[in-house]
């Protein structure tokens, strides 16, 4: 079991996208359980076959509005934050990490 802790001002809104991204784009996921702890904090519990480092790399690559903040080895926990340039209201035309302004 691996935990993904996601914190941002819009964590509840963004968690729907992140849950879909994990389910569709990350191989080795057997199940996803979501715990929405507050407006700004969501935890995903994943039944995952594979290396947590590979999972963290997959979450950080491709188009996803999330950056891996840290991986806590030995604890099977990955902390995520929202990427710069991501706006939940629409497409900015930016790649993750680019400033749209």
Q: Are 6 and 41 in contact (CB under 8 A)?
A: yes
Residue 49, H or E segment: none
Look at residue 100 and tell me whether its pLDDT is greater than 80: no
Q: What range does the domain containing 52 cover?
A: 2-82
10-45 pLDDT, tens per residue?
787 778 888 888 888 788 888 888 888 888 888 989
**Does residue 99 lie in a domain region?**
no
Angle value at C-alpha 8, between 78 and 63, nearest 5 degrees: 65
d(CA 54, CA 70): 13
| Beta-ladder partners of 7 | 41
Q: Note whether residue 77 is domain-resident.
A: yes
* 29 falls within a domain: yes
Instruction: Please give the average per-residue pLDDT across 4-12, as a whole number.
Output: 83
Note the pLDDT of residue 90.
Answer: 44
Task: Indicate whether this model's pTM tops 0.85.
Answer: no
Residue 58 has pLDDT above 70, yes or no: yes
Q: Taking phi first (over 0 means left), then psi (-120 to 50 degrees means alpha), and beta for anything else, what does residue 17 get?
A: alpha
**CB-CB neighbours of 72 under 10 Å:** 12
Number of domains in the chain: 1
């Amino acid at each position: 079991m691996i935990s993904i802790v996601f914190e941002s001002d819009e964590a509840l809104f963004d968690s729907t996208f992140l849950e879909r991204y994990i389910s569709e784009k990350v191989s080795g996921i057997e199940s996803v359980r979501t715990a929405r702890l507050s407006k700004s904090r969501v935890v995903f519990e994943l039944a995952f076959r594979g290396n947590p480092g590979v999972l963290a790399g997959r979450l950080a690559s491709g188009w996803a509005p999330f950056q891996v903040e840290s991986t806590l080895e030995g604890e099977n926990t990955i902390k995520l934050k929202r990427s710069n340039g991501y706006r939940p209201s629409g497409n900015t035309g930016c790649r993750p990490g680019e400033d749209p302004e």
